[in-house]
Amino acid sequence: MTEIGKINKPEADTYKNRKKIYFVRNLYLPKSATDKYKSIYNRYWKEVEEHLTKIEAAGKVSKIFCESLYMSGKEARRVLKSMNAALEKIIQKKIEEGAELAPLEDKDIFGSYVDWNNCMMVIRTQKVYDTIQEHLKSVVKDRFKYIKSVLEKNIGKAEAAMLIMRGEDRELLELPDDIELFLISPPAYDDLQQFLRDRDEGREYWRA
């Protein structure tokens, strides 16, 4: 894995003929977020856009995949805008530059994933927790197996794709061996982590 801040132009040239994923951690803006969080959040997405422009020296983004989206076209952009307007603006710009926003999830698998996670939030007994945890582990496995297959089938030779997911989910995703992964990690992300360490109330905003 390569971080954008650690690649220069000669190195970028070596990746032009390879399959590439530019990974962006997805951050959301809850209605209850503090002004400090909002400031870091807005700067984060601005810096993400700037870093994407730099990393595209290794290849322009031609495909875009985003967590939660199993639809395409106008419906996908409408759902995306309702979830994360800042991200939607970046994606819209990439679409105008010629990129395609493609479905990443399977509707049924993702629906089960959301349902089991919701169940975990209302558990009262250990026995029920253990049962639901087993179901959740199974659907998580199915979800990431499906996502891997989507990336494998839809990223062609020398293509660059943008993948937006929660940071913790990237650790669960096994990428095809022939895909190079670049992590878009701007300074604002480090500032956000520090904010969460310093202010207990920030932790809930990170999980939202």
Instruction: Evaluate whether 52 touches 162 at the Cβ level (below 8 Å).
Output: yes
Residue of 6 and 30 predicted with greater confidence: 30
40-47: long-range contacts (C-beta < 8 A, 24 or more apart)? 40/188, 40/191, 40/192, 40/195, 41/86, 41/192, 42/86, 43/188, 43/191, 44/186, 44/188, 44/189, 44/192, 45/86, 45/87, 45/89, 45/90, 46/188, 47/186, 47/187, 47/188
Instruction: Evaluate whether 24 touches 48 at the Cβ level (below 8 Å).
Output: yes
Q: Which residues contact 156 (CB under 8 A, 6 or more apart)?
A: 19
Summarised one tens digit per residue, pLDDT across range 79-106 is: 999 999 999 999 999 999 999 999 999 9
CA distance 36 to 65: 29
Task: Break the chain down into helix, strand, coil percent, rounded to 5.
Answer: 60, 15, 25
Structural domain boundaries of the chain?
2-100+157-207
Helices 107-120, 126-154: inter-axial angle, 10-degree rounding: 150
Side-by-side strand order, sheet with 19-25: 2-3, 179-184, 19-25, 160-165, 61-66, 100-102
Q: How confident is the model at residue 34 (pLDDT cuts 50, 70, 90)?
A: confident
Q: Is the pTM of this model over 0.85?
A: yes
Mean pLDDT for the stretch of residues 53-74: 94
Identify the pLDDT of residue 17.
83
SS (H, E, C) 114-133: HHHHHHHCCCCCHHHHHHHH
